[in-house]
């Protein structure tokens, strides 16, 4: 049986990816900070789901979680890094946080949550890295926003964009290292999740997004992991 480790599996995209892999008969290992979401409550009842309370922001906790997975006799075939936040720098307006504090929150939530599991995998599975594939969710903002003053100015997205550029660099370095079987970076644009709706309200954008026309997490999971993906890994 194939094994996937998912961070951020309580989220809309992480949860949809978890269900997709379960549908194709994989054993899903979820690293979660919280267990309350309806997605998790439904997934936890299924066979071939292992849930680990963890915190991908925390290097030491993540290391002991990955070690626990190994102690259960599991070598992951795939690691899907979905933990992170889609909230931009002004995602905390009511709290009126200073820029450096927001920057720290966004770097921890979007970079540390990926770096800690990567480091843990490298350390715990150092003899098996060439068998492991990893996929990261970043943001296409890393490509266009640094040169787009209306993004970093009007919408105050500097810290989010910085975090996403670091993620992109980190993923490129991992891919170039040649240590892993495969490294993927997904930059989805906009997916209809609760967090995306929170990040892009009409009051912030000045126009209303028709969320019915935006891809659902399930559609997105199917797009990035089509049936051919699973057939190639049987």
Q: Interface with ligand NAP includes 65 (CB under 6 A)? A: no
* Residue 128 or 140 with smaller CB distance to ligand NAP: 140
Phi, psi of 115 (to 5 degrees): -65, -40
| Selected binder of ligand NAP within 3, 113, 152, 165 (CB under 6 A) | 113
| Shortest spacing between CB 214 and ligand NAP, in angstroms | 8
Q: Interface with ligand NAP includes 84 (CB under 6 A)? A: yes
| Shortest spacing between CB 128 and ligand NAP, in angstroms | 25
| Selected binder of ligand NAP within 18, 28, 115, 196 (CB under 6 A) | 196
| Shortest spacing between CB 166 and ligand NAP, in angstroms | 13
Using the structure block, give the residue that is written with the tokens 């899907």.
80
* Residue 172 or 179 with smaller CB distance to ligand NAP: 172
Of the ranges 88-96, 142-150, 185-193, 223-231, which one interacts with ligand NAP (CB under 6 A)? 185-193
Reading the block at residue 197, the tokens are 């709706």
* Residue 37 or 128 with smaller CB distance to ligand NAP: 37
For the chain, give the DSSP string: --EEEEESTTSHHHHHHHHHHHHTT-EEEEEES---SHHHHHHHTSTTEEEEE--TT-HHHHHHHHHHHHHTT---SEEEE-------GGGSGGGT--HHHHHHHHHIIIIIHHHHHHHHHHHHTTTTGGG-EEEEE--THHHHGGG-HIIIIIT--HHHHHHHHHHHHHHHHHHHHT-SSEEEEE--S----HHHHHHS-HHHHSS---GGGSPPHHHHHHHHS-HHHHHTT-
Kindly state the number of chain residues that form the binding site for ligand NAP, as judged by CB under 6 A. Answer: 27
Q: Interface with ligand NAP includes 137 (CB under 6 A)? A: yes
| Selected binder of ligand NAP within 6, 17, 32, 118 (CB under 6 A) | 32
Q: What's the start-to-end Cα distance of the chain, in Å? A: 9
| Selected binder of ligand NAP within 11, 76, 91, 117 (CB under 6 A) | 11
Q: Interface with ligand NAP includes 57 (CB under 6 A)? A: yes
Asked whether the beta carbons of 13 and 84 are under 8 A apart, the reply is: no
| Shortest spacing between CB 2 and ligand NAP, in angstroms | 22
Interacting residue ranges for ligand NAP, rule: CB under 6 A = 8, 10-14, 32-34, 56-57, 82-86, 108-109, 113, 137, 139, 188, 190-191, 193, 195-196
């Amino acid at each position: 049986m194939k094994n996937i480790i998912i961070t951020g599996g309580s989220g809309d995209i992480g949860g949809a990816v978890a269900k997709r892999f379960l549908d194709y008969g994989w054993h899903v290992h979820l690293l979660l900070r919280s267990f309350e979401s309806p997605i998790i409550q439904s997934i936890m009842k299924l066979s071939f789901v292992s849930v680990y309370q963890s915190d991908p922001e925390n290097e030491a906790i993540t290391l002991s979680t990955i070690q626990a997975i190994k102690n259960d006799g599991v070598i992951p075939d795939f690691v899907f890094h979905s933990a992170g936040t889609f909230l931009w720098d002004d995602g905390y307006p009511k709290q009126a946080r200073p820029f450096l504090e927001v920057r720290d929150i966004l770097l921890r939530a979007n970079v540390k949550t990926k770096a800690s599991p990567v480091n843990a995998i490298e350390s715990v599975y150092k003899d098996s890295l060439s068998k492991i594939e990893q996929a990261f969710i970043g943001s296409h903002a890393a490509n266009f926003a640094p040169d787009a003053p209306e993004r970093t100015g009007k919408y105050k997205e500097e810290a989010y964009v910085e975090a996403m550029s670091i993620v992109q660099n980190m993923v490129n370095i991992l891919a170039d290292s040649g240590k892993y079987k495969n490294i993927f970076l997904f930059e989805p644009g906009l997916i209809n999740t609760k967090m995306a709706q929170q990040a892009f309200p009409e009051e912030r954008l000045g126009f209303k997004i028709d969320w019915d026309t935006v891809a659902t997490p399930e559609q997105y999971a199917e797009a990035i992991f089509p049936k051919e993906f699973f057939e190639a890994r049987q």
